[in-house]
Chains A and B, each alone.
Chain A
Amino acid sequence: MRKIGVVVFPGTNCERDVFHVLSDVLHIETEYIWHDRQDLDGFAGLVLPGGFSYGDRLRAGVIAAHSPIIHQVKKIAKDGVPVLGICNGFQILIESGLLPGALVKNERLNFVCKWIDAKVKNTTTPFTKLFQKNQQIRMPVAHGEGRYVADGLTIKRLRQKNQIVLSFLNENPNGSAESIAAICNPEGNVVGMMPHPERASEGVLSPVAACIDGSTFFRSLMHYLGEAYST
């Protein structure tokens, strides 16, 4: 089996959660990647987990986006390796230019932690293959800077190229343009999302009847990588 890397910067704080779900719940070979590592050979996929890399100083994700490992991430992303950025990971992917647009302070200016409804709009990415098109799912968000903004042209392109992966349903918790909750690059292998799929991967932790919608993102990845997984 080929292994998945979980990239850790100083201040990342969801790495153990993602590791737990990949390794203990889904039994996928997983390894932490400390931010000073020189090469990413042998990783079949990467997850940049949430947290506050470098304390969100300057703005969320910007310092991590300039650390050396991001060159390696960019390199393997270009080769088509699936890369998932969750929350702060999404912010890092945006700041590093792997994904377009910007994530700014939530419209209400407060941090928001709650379970939300979302709709899966793109089921062709390695992380969303196992969803049905327009499937409604539930997951929690937890962020202060998650409001997706971009100029009109960028938004138009995102729509045209099917790059909007998830959009918020019923309630837009942060004021994102087009209720965007997740986007991908034109090739679809780099996905950034504000909701936390790792927090919706075990029924016991769910506030609504045993919801494990989040685990489908990781199971999709394994499916994509050619392995059959049942949990």
Chain B
Amino acid sequence: MSALTANEISHLRKSLRRHPTETEFQMVTAQWSEHCSYKSSRKDISQLPLSRTRIGLNGGFDAGLIEIGNDLVLTVRIESHNHPSAIEPYGGAATGVGGVVRDILSAGTRPIALMNGLRFGNINGNNPKVNQHTRWLLRNVVRGISDYGNCIGVPTIGGELEFDKSFDNYCLVDVLCIGLSKTSEVVPNFADTEDLIFLLGGSTGRDGIHGAAFASAGLNREDRSAVQIPDPFLKKILIEAILEAVEKGYINAMKDLGGGGLACCLSETSYSLGKGFDVDLSRVRLREEGMTPTEILISESQERMFLIAGKENRESLEKIFAKYEVGYSIIGKVCSGHNIKIRHHSKVIADIPSQIVACAPLLNRRSAYPSYLRKKAATKLHLPKNLSPILLDLLGTPNLCNRSWIYEQFDSEVGLRTVLRPGEGDSSILRLVDGKYVAMSLDGNCRRCYLDPYQGTLGCLSEAVRNVICSGASPVGLVDHLQFGSPENPEVFWTFKQSIAAIKDYCDAFKLPVIGGKVSFYNEKNDSPIKPSPVIGAIGIGDKLENIGKARLSPRCHIFVIGSTKEELGGSEYYLSFHKSEGGKVPRVDFAEDKRNALAVSDLIANGVVKGVHDCSKGGIAIALAESAINGNTGFDVDLSLAPNTCDRIDSLMFSESNSRYVVITERPKEVSEILTNFKSRIYCRKIGHTSDSAANDTVQYRNGNQILVNLELEKLRLAYNNSLENMLNDVGI
């Protein structure tokens, strides 16, 4: 486990001008872990254009807040729980959900939706042991999220999933939570001297001791005691109790207990509020006997919240806690000065300025161009003769196939806000009030980010924003979750810096703020780093629910493609699954074209002339069309050579994953052409074909001029797409 380095210890002594006590030393060790302090990444992430309206304080960035009018605010937060999920997938994933929900709750906002981004190793590769392990991880991660999210009554409205060999015997579990509240009810976050400090919810035990340190090193040994135990029922009543107290205005400041436990919560809150705390650990409710003060301070037991309230509200708060039968204790009070004073019974065991604990000395990590990139030259790949079997195989690959086996285990509708459920559109949609809605999309692409972390990250940003655009919403902000191997490896750190540069450039070009984010390093198993895995969430707000199209074909419609297809197949599903190639040129983002096409599509949707829009991403135009056909139960006939492109080969035109492209489905082709022709700048757009007249004996046909490339019954596509994930999961024979 990573303790403090010699430099850090001397920095601590210098700042304190004395030796730290044992308790102080342990607090600082927890807070200065990579997980809590962001000591490797803070210098870089500070370049990002963070939103001005932020609340709370949580490690690197904070839970983001978006004012959406009508006296309402949304909060958004993304977190991961990778190490714990890799060794105990059920509990790790469940407590991952629990943690991010607490962040949203800390602002006093009601959690209204969850999303998840999941990454696993090979599930149908050559190594049966790995496949089996992946199945075990996937089943239990899904069950963990399902049991927790469903029980607390927060719908899981969507997500994304990727399989890649760099995650073999490991996994990434990212959870995003959205909160909603009246602007006037957001917790004000202040503290007055003599205010009371409540510790509410679960009791404190030895689970999750050293969790932050555990997450701040590679996963080389399985430390199950560092994984916390979920209790969604307790979380549910905690949510209701806290929101009742928030509504009444009884809470001055609030924070959840997450990584680093009470130690980090005390130091970060004291530092952000600019107040001192006087806390007695003997007042903390314990579930185990004989816990040392240090164990109490750094335990990461779940379902605990830290509240600061005025004395005058004590009785009212106690009534609410009694109504919901939530355990609590008053562990201390706010005092003047800036020190955290910690007692155990009457003995003072720490008395340290919170600023020293909260502000770890930042590191300058070395970065170096990765040697693997020098070797990744593109190879000449043969042009396959028959494209039909390739299309069917692609539809059934783990990275593209139907995910309903997963999302049907999530309650996606509780709360009565879900307008587009998982699988129904490119983004998930929640209605708010007066026809307003929020569209959310989460996207990642580790293979492209591996080959070119800068363009790869831009691609994730572009895709997330495209998905929101497809739902007729205007993007208002982004969240990012940057997941990499060890920052001590200069080649890994170089990829991290490239990713940050991409986010900065994209945000500058599109004038979008980063409203929340998280960095997770040390994602390694046995010293082998994962592929760079930034996951981007885009949040959009729309106000015409009636204009939302679904990503599905319907009979008697015309099909347009907006955006140019280029020879950009590096990291594509086609290269990987058919040519077994991981090299090649990664799709680039042309900011001007990306922006132009997004505006054009928004214009079409706002004018109400489209039935549906689908983003072209993984698997290219061919897969985007096939998915829309399956979802809409309607076939089509298209001539791909009509689509704007600069491709040399027909397989590239079908499967290239160039950015900034949309498939538009409409019953009013003339109006679509008219709007696009009169658009203020030139849009690359062509009608490529039409959908079938009826659903009887339906077929899909892809042509290259008059040459038929693929002609298949829709039912065949459906079978390939629908059954594969379930078959892989049930493949217990291997």
Per-residue interface assignment for chain A, residues 53 to 85, with 1 indicating a CB less than 8 Å from any chain B CB and 0 otherwise: 011110000000000000000000000000000
Q: A10-B324, A114-B408 are in contact. Are A52 and B151 (CB under 8 A)?
A: yes
A13 to B418, Cβ gap below 8 A?
no
- A26 at the B interface (CB under 8 A): no
Tell me which residues from 297 to 340 in chain B have a Cβ below 8 Å from any Cβ of chain A.
Answer: 323-325
- A43 at the B interface (CB under 8 A): no
- Least CB distance, A110 to chain B, in whole angstroms: 5
- B471 at the A interface (CB under 8 A): no
- Least CB distance, B545 to chain A, in whole angstroms: 6
- B106 at the A interface (CB under 8 A): no
- A186 at the B interface (CB under 8 A): no
Q: Which of B323, B408, B416 contacts A202 (CB 8 A)?
A: B416
- Which are the 10 A-B pairs with shortest beta-carbon distances? A13-B153, A55-B233, A52-B151, A142-B411, A17-B416, A111-B409, A113-B411, A199-B413, A10-B237, A111-B146
Residue of B nearest to A24 (CB): B416
Q: A14-B153, A55-B151 are in contact. Are A205 and B146 (CB under 8 A)?
A: no
Q: Which of A10, A55, A113 contacts B412 (CB 8 A)?
A: A113
- A223 at the B interface (CB under 8 A): no
Per-residue interface assignment for chain B, residues 402 to 424, with 1 indicating a CB less than 8 Å from any chain A CB and 0 otherwise: 00100111111111111101001
Per-residue interface assignment for chain A, residues 5 to 44, with 1 indicating a CB less than 8 Å from any chain B CB and 0 otherwise: 0000011011011001100000000000010000000000
7 extra A-B contacts, CB within 8 A, seeds A13-B152, A14-B153, A21-B416:
A16-B415, A20-B416, A57-B233, A113-B411, A113-B413, A142-B413, A205-B418
- A137 at the B interface (CB under 8 A): no
The contact size tier of chain B is: 20 to 34
- B98 at the A interface (CB under 8 A): no
Most buried by B among A50, A54, A114: A114
Whole-angstrom distance between the alpha carbons of A202 and B231 in the complex?
33
Tell me which residues from 28 to 58 in chain B have a Cβ below 8 Å from any Cβ of chain A.
Answer: none
A142 to B409, Cβ gap below 8 A?
no
Residue of A nearest to B546 (CB): A204
- B645 at the A interface (CB under 8 A): no
A11 to B411, Cβ gap below 8 A?
no
The main secondary structure of chain A at its interface with chain B is: mixed
- B232 at the A interface (CB under 8 A): yes
Q: A113-B408, A113-B412, A142-B150 are in contact. Are A13 and B236 (CB under 8 A)?
A: yes
Give me 13 A-to-B residue pairs in the complex whose CB atoms sit less than 8 angstroms apart, sorted by A's number.
A14-B153, A17-B415, A55-B233, A56-B151, A110-B146, A111-B150, A111-B411, A113-B413, A142-B150, A142-B413, A196-B413, A202-B416, A205-B418
A11 to B414, Cβ gap below 8 A?
no
- Least CB distance, A117 to chain B, in whole angstroms: 16
Whole-angstrom distance between the alpha carbons of A178 and B417 in the complex?
33
- A126 at the B interface (CB under 8 A): no
Q: Chain B residues in contact with chain A, CB under 8 A?
A: 143, 146-147, 150-153, 231-234, 236-237, 323-325, 404, 407-419, 421, 424, 431, 545
- Least CB distance, A216 to chain B, in whole angstroms: 17
- A112 at the B interface (CB under 8 A): yes
Q: A10-B324, A11-B236, A142-B411 are in contact. Are A51 and B416 (CB under 8 A)?
A: no
Whole-angstrom distance between the alpha carbons of A57 and B231 in the complex?
11
Q: Which residues of B contact A146 (CB under 8 A)?
A: none
Residue of A nearest to B231 (CB): A55
Q: Chain A residues in contact with chain B, CB under 8 A?
A: 10-11, 13-14, 16-17, 20-21, 34, 50-52, 54-57, 110-114, 140, 142, 144, 196, 198-199, 202, 204-205, 207
Whole-angstrom distance between the alpha carbons of A112 and B237 in the complex?
24
Whole-angstrom distance between the alpha carbons of A20 and B237 in the complex?
20
Q: Which residues of A contact B421 (CB under 8 A)?
A: 207
- Least CB distance, B55 to chain A, in whole angstroms: 24
Q: Which residues of B contact A111 (CB under 8 A)?
A: 146-147, 150, 408-411
Q: Which residues of A contact B325 (CB under 8 A)?
A: 10
B419 to A110, Cβ gap below 8 A?
no
Residue of A nearest to B323 (CB): A34
Residue of A nearest to B326 (CB): A10
- Least CB distance, B655 to chain A, in whole angstroms: 30
Whole-angstrom distance between the alpha carbons of A207 and B407 in the complex?
15
A205 to B237, Cβ gap below 8 A?
no
Residue of B nearest to A140 (CB): B413
- Least CB distance, B319 to chain A, in whole angstroms: 13
Q: Which residues of A contact B323 (CB under 8 A)?
A: 34
Q: Which of A54, A110, A142, A207 contacts B414 (CB 8 A)?
A: A142
- Least CB distance, B154 to chain A, in whole angstroms: 8
Q: A113-B408, A204-B431, A207-B424 are in contact. Are A198 and B416 (CB under 8 A)?
A: yes
Whole-angstrom distance between the alpha carbons of A113 and B155 in the complex?
11
Most buried by B among A10, A112, A140, A202: A10
Whole-angstrom distance between the alpha carbons of A45 and B121 in the complex?
53
Residue of A nearest to B548 (CB): A204
Whole-angstrom distance between the alpha carbons of A46 and B413 in the complex?
23
- Least CB distance, B106 to chain A, in whole angstroms: 20
Whole-angstrom distance between the alpha carbons of A124 and B409 in the complex?
34
Q: Which residues of A contact B413 (CB under 8 A)?
A: 113, 140, 142, 196, 199, 205
Q: Which residues of B contact A205 (CB under 8 A)?
A: 413, 416-419, 431
Whole-angstrom distance between the alpha carbons of A114 and B408 in the complex?
6
Whole-angstrom distance between the alpha carbons of A10 and B412 in the complex?
21
- Least CB distance, A218 to chain B, in whole angstroms: 14
Q: Which residues of B contact A16 (CB under 8 A)?
A: 415-416
- Least CB distance, A175 to chain B, in whole angstroms: 15
Q: A207-B421, A207-B424 are in contact. Are A14 and B237 (CB under 8 A)?
A: no
A11 to B409, Cβ gap below 8 A?
no
Q: Which residues of B contact A51 (CB under 8 A)?
A: 153
A113 to B416, Cβ gap below 8 A?
no
B409 to A14, Cβ gap below 8 A?
no
A204 to B409, Cβ gap below 8 A?
no
Whole-angstrom distance between the alpha carbons of A21 and B670 in the complex?
41
Q: Which residues of B contact A202 (CB under 8 A)?
A: 416
Whole-angstrom distance between the alpha carbons of A112 and B408 in the complex?
5
Whole-angstrom distance between the alpha carbons of A54 and B545 in the complex?
36
Q: Which residues of A contact B411 (CB under 8 A)?
A: 111, 113, 142
A54 to B233, Cβ gap below 8 A?
yes
Whole-angstrom distance between the alpha carbons of A110 and B412 in the complex?
15
A52 to B416, Cβ gap below 8 A?
no
Q: Which residues of B contact A114 (CB under 8 A)?
A: 404, 408
Residue of A nearest to B239 (CB): A13
Q: Which residues of B contact A199 (CB under 8 A)?
A: 413, 416
A204 to B419, Cβ gap below 8 A?
yes
Residue of B nearest to A198 (CB): B416
- Least CB distance, B159 to chain A, in whole angstroms: 14
Q: Which of A13, A34, A113 contacts B410 (CB 8 A)?
A: A113
Q: A13-B414, A52-B236, A199-B416 are in contact. Are A113 and B409 (CB under 8 A)?
A: yes
Whole-angstrom distance between the alpha carbons of A57 and B143 in the complex?
17
Q: Which residues of B contact A56 (CB under 8 A)?
A: 151, 233
- Least CB distance, B414 to chain A, in whole angstroms: 6
Residue of B nearest to A34 (CB): B323
Residue of A nearest to B417 (CB): A205
- Least CB distance, A189 to chain B, in whole angstroms: 27
Q: Which of B232, B415, B416 contacts A55 (CB 8 A)?
A: B232
Q: Which residues of A contact B236 (CB under 8 A)?
A: 10-11, 13, 52, 55
Q: A51-B153, A52-B150, A207-B421 are in contact. Are A17 and B414 (CB under 8 A)?
A: yes
Q: Which of B151, B234, B409, B418 contacts A112 (CB 8 A)?
A: B409
Q: Which residues of B contact A207 (CB under 8 A)?
A: 421, 424
Whole-angstrom distance between the alpha carbons of A31 and B151 in the complex?
23
Whole-angstrom distance between the alpha carbons of A34 and B323 in the complex?
10
- Least CB distance, B180 to chain A, in whole angstroms: 12
Whole-angstrom distance between the alpha carbons of A210 and B39 in the complex?
52
- Least CB distance, B405 to chain A, in whole angstroms: 8
Q: Which residues of A contact B143 (CB under 8 A)?
A: 110
Q: Which residues of A contact B419 (CB under 8 A)?
A: 204-205
Whole-angstrom distance between the alpha carbons of A68 and B408 in the complex?
35
- Least CB distance, B389 to chain A, in whole angstroms: 30
- Least CB distance, B425 to chain A, in whole angstroms: 10
Whole-angstrom distance between the alpha carbons of A17 and B418 in the complex?
12
